[in-house]
Structure 1
Amino acid sequence: MKRRSFLQGTAATVVISGMGRAGLLHAIESGWTELNNVSLVLPAQPAKREQVAAEMMVDEIMKRCGVEWTIGSTGSVKIYLGTRASWHSLGSIVASVAAKASKLPVESYAIASGPDWIAVCGSDERGLIFGAGKLLRLCSLERRTVAVNRKALNLTSSPHYAIRGHQLGYRPKTNAYDAWTVEMWDQYIRELAIFGTNTVELLPPISDDLSDSPHFPIHPKKMLIEMSRICDKYGLDVSIWYPAMARDYSDKQTLEAEIRDWADVMHDMPRLDIVFVPGGDPGHTEPKYMLPLLEKEKANLRKTHPQVQMWMSPQSFNAEWLVEFQTMVNEPHTQTWLDGIVFGPQNRSSIAELRKALPAKYPIRFYPDITHSIQSQYSMNNWDIAYALTEGREIINPRPEAEAAILRSELKYTSGFVSYSEGCNDDANKFLWSLLAWDPNMTATDAMRDFGRYFIGAKDGSGFAQGLLDLENNWLGPLAANELVDVTLQKFMSIERSASPFLLENWRWQQAMFRACCDAYVRQRLLFESGELAKAKSILGRIEDIGFASVPWGIGAVPAREPANGIDPQNLIEDAMRTLRESTLQPVAPALRTRIAELGYALLQSIHQQLAVERFQGEAVDRGAPLDTIDHPVTDGPYFLKQLGAISKIEDQEEKIAATRALLDRTNPGPGGFYDELGNVGNRPHLVIEEVEGDFDFRRSPHVGTSYPDHYGANAPMAWKHWAESLYEAPLKMHYKGLDPDVEYVLQVVISGDSRGVKTKLMANDALEIHPLQLRPWPPAPQTFAVPRAATAGGELRLTWTRETGLGGNGRGCQLAEVMLKPVPKKGD
């Protein structure tokens, strides 16, 4: 047996045998053919990628099954591989297959079979690579056994979308890629090709990242060359994401230096098809300087890469720059050299609006963020804050149904996609996008089964695929009530109990198991910590039983006020604090926590995934290091503990009791009042939510934003760590009914979030200004505003928050955490 690929891991090199010999014989009788004795037959003078296709199949079968296929003609079953241009040399027995492929478009293939042969004919060399990959995916892969259903071997297939790609960044910012070797990249890029990927986007060694990583096996510039070579080996297009980050491109010397630097970086790349320059994030160059730069860059780069194309995105542009950009790309001269437009995160216009604004000459390439869970283009909406604070922005995130819905909604305006990815945490999403861009009619479930059967094997692949779908459902709804989280873990554990060492060492299995364990662990911690906080509140609640009696101090002295009923408020406070402190020391699900740590180390060893900063030298906590935050508090326990510590130092007993009551009543708006926690879907009855179909990037509807990592800690309650959020000029609205027209109200508001430099304005009933554009207090703190009596005279109140208009960047600004509408007590009450 050949040496296993390190990327593939032991688990995927040999698939568990689940059939047994008797089962295999029955399967053969049912239309299955055993493929253990196979020879691959190539044209007399095979082209480069015809040879690569054969070698790929031989190597993959050896790695996954331990079965040795050969290139030649000695096997009892022969697999003929070629393109329609070379098919004539393969003999008359398979001549009819070329006819099936003769009218297929580029990148297509035909597969046919006979009694003792299978044929894969590509419309071109790339089509043959994809056809060979499809045959591999049709096979049942088990330990020492390969089989295929003959009924599935007569088909033709063509891709629906022309561009199907993924960004693979060898840089410190990723959560594993910076440690991958050339051999690991070869394996991964091959696997993407097997699933129909035709484009890989690389990153230059010059970007908004650190210049070095402790994990780099070779220099980034050398790896750029190697990855370009690997892509060309499999016939894949090579794009490079290249941000324009110089300060001033209106300066002639800066411009000339950039042209030299870009050429130097890309000069030795064996293959380069496209240069994609984002308009921002990073970079901040006005279109009137950016477009002339790119025109000159393209002309210079064509000296070494004659066919290279230049694409650009209007990312991060403000309203003025977007208009300027659209005007310039409509000019006849720009259309002579600019090849395409990319739609990615931080675009002010929607993809449909962009398509309408552009000349038909320009293809649009979609650049979807499939890697981040929050603070991103397609964030998890209404994600439970316990998940957000512990698992974070780059946790392992299979989202098959959501990703499929986004693809079907947005990709129709484009020529295809290259995903925005910053690591391997989104691995399952990558393969789903490739599969559905080839065949949009494929269901997300079938895509995951295809993925599971190939990478996990025939025995457990389907169960694994269902597990990925279950992991997506783990994240839906309030975590405390989601009992499916525990069921999902049980399903994975039932597979694990009968798993071979090969499966246990498979990095894709390790990732899924890690996520299942994290979800279950966070839920158990949430239930436990919520119970302990409830105990502490119950203890403090006895303060309501305390009465006061006047104690005379002597003749002429003011009587003192002392607690009656024998209850000492200090004792209650200390008991509550003790409960909260002890809860932090009590282990919760220790076996599960140990398993999470074990899987973290396993992933470091199998694919160098850096799930911790200090221990594994990951770049940052928010760059896929959940081991550093998985134990983060998930309730207001720390906040209560800190507040009680301050209250315990108050000497005046009445003041101490009042402060304790205020803490317990922090969210109590009083009789006739209203309280909304805008980031909590179960407690925001007055938030106006208009159901907008297909609004996956929340341009027209509010969504929940969350802080990660937690910058506030014990200084803020949980309610301030998530918020309702709208983007760009979309407003945030609240609507109150049934107000008392004879009552005066005040509004207490907490604006939180990450856009502290963006001003917001508040209007009542679209006519009365509560406050003009202003910055929020920082750190977040309550603000109180009087509500004009005229605003509530009709028994209703509409509140509308808007941010500054015309801004660029990520669009965030309206970030409303907490709102209380409180009646003003009448004099004498």
Structure 2
Amino acid sequence: MAGLLSEKLVLALLIFPCLVRRASALDLSQASVVSPPDLSGPPKKAVAMLIEEVDKRTQIRWVNVSTWLATPAPVIAVGMASELDSWAGDLAKELARDRKVEGPEGYRIRVKRSRGAQVVFVIGNDARGVIFGIGHLLRSLRMNPGAVELPDDFSVATSPRYRLRGHQLGYRPKTNSYDAWDVTRWEQYIRDLVVFGCNTIELIPPRSDDDATSPHFPLPPMEMMVAMSRLADEYGLDVWVWYPAMDRDYADPKAVEFALGEWGEVFKKLPRIDAVFVPGGDPGHTPPRVLMDFLARQTENLHRFHPRAQMWVSPQSFNRAWLEEFIGILRNEQPPWLSGVVYGPQVRVSLRQLRSAIPRQYPIRHYPDITHSWRCEYPVPDWDSAYAATEGREPINPRPLDQATIFRLTQSDTIGFLTYSEGCNDDVNKVIWSALGWSPEANVTNVLRDYSRYFIGDANTEDFAQGLLALERNWRGALVTNENVFATLKKFQAMEASASPRLMSNWRFQQALYRAYYDAYTRSRLLYETGLEDRAMAKLREAGTAGSLAAMSEADSILEGALSERVSADWRARVFELAEALYHSIGMQLSVPLYRAIAVDRGANLDNIDVPLNDGPWLKDQFAQVRGLTGEAERLGRIEAIVRWSDPGPGGFYDDLGDLLRQPHLVRGPGFEQDPAFLGFRGGTTPRRFTTSRWYCITTALIPRPDTNCGWCTRAICRAAKSVSWQMTSSRFIRSWRRRFRLSPWSLPSRWKRRKLET
């Protein structure tokens, strides 16, 4: 009897939490949507978005009415605060007295009871407030097939901290996915961004630093640009245009007239333009005086078609002299046509320094690079060279905590941001920026929970949110010792095993799976190929007894195992399957030969999945040279040099700049948490950029040369070995470099040798 009572008690305790949860949830399955009868513009679009997005996830189609129904069924009432009397029913006066938050785009969501029915009110301070309030409601609903719930104590009143919160959406071949999207897909993505608080998009004109056409284009670029501008306007979003000044010489009147005509045609065709942003470089190479005179003309041109549109410019790629000239123009002339300045990649000073240098009348917009992982403005800190070699510069890159760090360190000197994006690979990062742009104090994990609940599903909210954080941890530190990578894959495999066909076709879920499998396969291969190299080197050490040719032959055979006996072949196969799925679900081009991506370095990292992760290619090259020697003694001498490569000799020291575990003398600067752009300053206003593992496996110091405007990243990398001194405590070392490899995607040796020089 006692045992039976115990079993009943345990059962009751197990059931009780479920009952409490159900009792505290407001069932909206039978709800209707009430809105003003004359609703139009973005609020009307918002109501349609609410009904359609709930329908997609639950197969429940809510009815939209303009009068309250005489039933006890739940109601979702939507409208602006200024029109409460026309749509809020009996509760209009109570809601008018309710605590509210001031400011443009703000909103309140309240749960009330009226005539025996539960009512969810979404009250916008203005038209945008309505659409962002509905976005908040959508990401808070618990939606499952045949069910819609909301906590019955749900209550929020909020307005955004930053007035500009947007993302660049470039319909061009470089983006490796956007160029395959039709108008329907673009509307869905714009909706997705709106749900998390995005209020601006930035378009790119037909002529930019890209191919003129793509085999994936469903529409010509100008037609799509017009359609995207119209879509943004329908949802009440601002439209910016990133417009590079690429012609050879704007001091030439003919070049100016041509550009005025070309730009004018674009301005004329677009239904909405709120601002134009012209980068000072990359692409473009125009001295500031000439550029500013040209943009004054273009502003007049812009106002012919969009009288209230603004003109913004950035000092991107300016050398020191040009930057000083640009700042001088702003200080001394204060051009009235200029609305503000953009801070982004390749600006020679920090954002804080730029803010101090230019007049306060010019606001600063941030243009943060959220899409690249290395050779970029905000590289992944301590990124393992195996990832740099395989996943490349534009991988699927959820970096939620990194993005929050960047945001919180940089945004205070700006009015907001429009991020630099090259595709949907950075989708998570966009949502983080949008959410923090609204509320900088927002908890990142909670943002990821909203992301997961809305895009992946209520059942996987926590698992997927934690999975995204785990993917970021996969990229932390040395891959050889990062046990998190295999644990992350297990986490995603568990979700994959129980996923419905609908979830398996969800491109966001596919992206996360692709990364989890790719990371795990890369680590498995790194461990395996490192072991092969160790065994091969052991054979070379026996050359004195076995003979040079025999030792090299055995070492060669061992190294061949990387191709002849692949490790984790099932994980590799799954990566290929997911790449195919992503091509069909979202048009993502993860391979040049398979999906006609524009370039391997533009996100097509499937083509790098088997790049060697040990020094095998270099060793084979050395073997070929050694076999060409005629004497055994000479061959043994060369082999001895190979096996003793990491021994710098008496008085020397050796750091492996491609191995994060073997860099004891590397001066890292203040670190990512304080300096995410890796800008170290040593006097003056010229930043030094310190990063590790940035050229497949080399630690680099990127130093912009004061006398040039070219190749900030690549030229500086090539010059770094000759121009940077090594600082270690109170001593100073000059690095003597000896190259051991060719800079190519398939040759990855990572050792550079230094010898201490007497001062």
TM-score, length-normalised on structure 2?
0.89
2: CA distance, partners of 1:136 / 1:236:
18
CA distance in 1, matches of 2:655, 2:294: 50
Contact 1:432 1:444 in 2 (8 A): yes
> Which residue does the alignment assign to 1:798?
732
Q: What is the match of residue 519 of structure 1?
A: 519
Q: Per the alignment, do residues 386 and 765 of structure 1 end up closer, same or farther by CA in structure 2, a change over 3 Å counting?
A: closer
Counterpart code for 2:299: K
Query: Cα offset for 1:585?
Result: 1.4
Separation (CA, whole Å) in 1 of partners of 2:725 and 2:700? 18
Report if the CA contact (8 A) 2:703-2:716 is conserved. Answer: no
Partner of 1:574: 553
Q: Deviations over 1:255-314 (max 9, x none)?
A: 111111101012111111000000011101111011111111111111111111001111
**C-alpha separation in 2, matches of 1:358 and 1:822:** 44
The farther-off stretch of 643-652 and 631-640 is 643-652
Instruction: Identify the match of residue 128 of structure 1 among 127, 130, 148.
Output: 130
CA distance, structure 2, for counterparts of residue 800 and residue 375 of structure 1? 25
Distance 1:190 1:663, change over 3 A: same
Other structure's SS at 2:590 match? coil
Could you tell me which residue of structure 2 aligns to residue 706 of structure 1? 694
Distance apart, 1:664 and its partner CA: 1.2
Q: Is the 8 A contact 1:764 1:797 kept in 2?
A: no
Q: Is 2:701 aligned against 1:725?
A: yes
Q: Which residue of 2 aligns with 1:172?
A: 173
- Of 659-668 and 128-137, more deviation after overlay is shown by 659-668
- Listed one character per residue, the Cα deviations across residues 671-690 of structure 1 (whole Å, up to 9, x for unaligned) are 33211233433222223333
Alignment of 1:374 with 2:366, yes or no, is no
* Structure 1 counterpart of 2:607, one-letter code: D
Per-residue CA deviations over 1:648-691 (Å, capped at 9, x if unaligned) read 23221101111111111122112332112334332222233332
In structure 1, how many angstroms separate the alpha carbons of the residues matched to 2:726 and 2:675? 26
Alignment check: 8 A CA contact 2:396 2:515 kept: yes
Task: List aligned pairs for 1:372-521, cutoff 5 A.
Answer: 372-521=372-521
Contact preservation (8 Å) 1:287, 1:324: yes
Q: Among 632, 635, 639, which residue is 2:618 paired with?
A: 639
Partner of 2:205: 204
In 2, the alpha carbon distance for the partners of 1:587 and 1:320 equals 54
Report the CA distance shift for 1:726/1:578 in structure 2 as closer, same or farther (over 3 A): same
Q: In the alignment, which residue of structure 1 is the partner of 2:589?
A: 610
CA distance in 1, matches of 2:101, 2:714: 56
SS in 2 for 1:587: coil
Provide the C-alpha distance between the structure 2 equivalents of 1:450 and 1:192, rounded to a whole number of angstroms: 13
Shift of 1:724: 2.9
Larger Rg: 1
Which residue matches 1:108? 106
**8 Å contact kept, 1:101–1:123:** no
Contact 1:706–1:753 (Cα < 8 Å) also in 2: no
Superposed, 1:215-294 pairs within 5 Å as 215-294=216-295
TM-fit CA distance, 1:45: 1.3
Distance 1:84 1:101, change over 3 A: farther
**Residues 631, 764 of structure 1: alpha-carbon distance in 2 compared, 3 angstrom cutoff:** closer
Aligned to 1:90: 87
386-395 vs 41-50, greater mean Cα deviation: 41-50
Amino acid at match of 1:655: E
In 2, are the aligned partners of 1:326 and 1:357 still within 8 Å (CA)?
A: yes
**Structure 1: tracts of 5 or more residues without a match:** 1-21, 547-566, 709-720, 731-751, 767-791, 803-815, 825-829
Specify which structure has the higher proportion of helix.
2
Confirm whether residue 600 of structure 1 aligns to residue 576 of structure 2: no
Q: Which amino acid aligns with 1:206?
A: R
SS in 1 for 2:434: helix
Classify the secondary structure of the residue corresponding to 2:535: helix
Residue aligned with 1:523, SS: helix
d(CA) in 2 for partners of 1:92 and 1:231? Answer: 32
Does structure 1 conserve the Cα–Cα contact (< 8 Å) formed by 2:43 and 2:128? no
Task: Give the counterpart letter for 1:218 in structure 2.
Answer: L
Alpha carbons 1:724, 1:817 under 8 Å: kept = no
Q: In terms of mean alpha carbon deviation, does 753-762 or 632-641 score higher?
A: 753-762
Change over 3 Å in CA distance of 1:165–1:529 after alignment to 2: same
Q: Map residues 779-798 of structure 1 onto 2, 5 A cutoff.
A: 797-798=731-732
| CA shift digits 1:149-198 (9 cap, x unpaired) | 0111x221100111000000000000200000100000000110111000
How far does residue 509 in structure 1 lie from its aligned partner after superposition? 0.3
Note the C-alpha offset of 1:727. 3.5
Do residues 77 (structure 1) and 70 (structure 2) align? no
Return the alpha-carbon distance in structure 2 between the equivalents of residues 474 and 581 of structure 1.
28
Q: Percent identity at matched positions?
A: 42
Q: Give 2:47's aligned residue.
A: 54
Counterpart contact for 2:26–2:151, Cα < 8 Å: yes
Matched to 1:419, the amino acid is: T
CA contact (8 A) 1:539 1:575 kept: yes
Structure 1 pair 675–599 and aligned structure 2 pair: CA distance change class (3 A): same
**CA deviation digits over 1:456-490, x for unaligned, max 9?**
11100211010000000000111011111000000
What are the superposed Cα offsets for residues 678-732 of structure 1, whole Å, 9 maximum, x if unpaired?
A: 3433222223333256211111062114336xxxxxxxxxxxx4223243379xx
Most deviating of 168-177 and 638-647: 638-647
Cα RMSD, aligned residues only: 2.4
- Relative distance call for 1:269 and 1:823 in structure 2 (3 A) is closer
- Aligned partner of 1:144 among 123, 139, 146: 146
- 1:744 aligns to what? none
**What CA deviation, in whole Å up to 9, does each residue of 1:524-570 have, x standing for no partner?**
000110111111111111124x4xxxxxxxxxxxxxxxxxxxx3321
Alpha carbons of structure 1 residues 697 and 88: separation in structure 2 relative to 1, 3 Å: same
Q: CA deviation at 1:754?
A: 5.1
What code does the residue aligned with 1:63 have? K
The Cα of 1:39 is off from its aligned counterpart by 1.2
| Structure 1 counterpart of 2:605 | 626
Bigger shift: residues 213-222 or 681-690: 681-690
Does the C-alpha gap of structure 1 residues 163 and 29 become closer, same or farther in structure 2, counting only changes over 3 Å?
A: same
Query: In the TM superposition, what whole-angstrom CA distance separates every residue of 1:82-130 from its partner, at most 9, and x where no partner exists?
Result: 1123222114423133444776211000111213211111111011000
- Structure 2: gaps of 5 or more residues: 1-14, 681-688, 707-712, 737-749
Q: Say whether the 8 Å CA contact 1:449–1:462 is kept in structure 2.
A: yes
- Matched residue type, 1:114: K
Pick the aligned partner of 2:567 from 559, 584, 588: 588
The answer as to whether partners of 2:646 and 2:753 remain within 8 angstroms in 1 is no
- Are the equivalent residues in 2 in contact too, given 1:762–1:799 (CA < 8 A)? no
Taking structure 1 as the reference length, the TM-score comes to 0.82
Task: Look up the equivalent residue of 1:699 and give its one-letter code.
Answer: L
> CA 1:301 to 1:99, structure 2 compared with 1: closer, same or farther past 3 Å?
farther
Contact residue 316 and residue 346 of structure 1 kept, 8 A: yes
CA drift of 1:137 comes to 1.2
Contact 1:510–1:602 (8 Å) recurs in 2: yes
Corresponding residue for residue 714 of structure 1: none
Is the CA contact (8 Å cut-off) linking 1:245 and 1:283 kept in structure 2?
Answer: yes
Supply the distance in 1 between the matched residues of 2:88 and 2:664 (Cα, whole angstroms).
73
Moved more, 304-313 or 686-695: 686-695
Partner residue, 2:668: 689
Are 1:43 and 2:36 counterparts?
yes
The CA distance in 1 between the partners of 2:407 and 2:488, in whole Å, is 26
AA aligned to 2:605 is P
C-alpha displacement of 1:49:
1.9
Q: Is 2:753 the counterpart of 1:819? A: yes
Does the CA contact (< 8 Å) of 1:168 and 1:421 recur in 2? yes
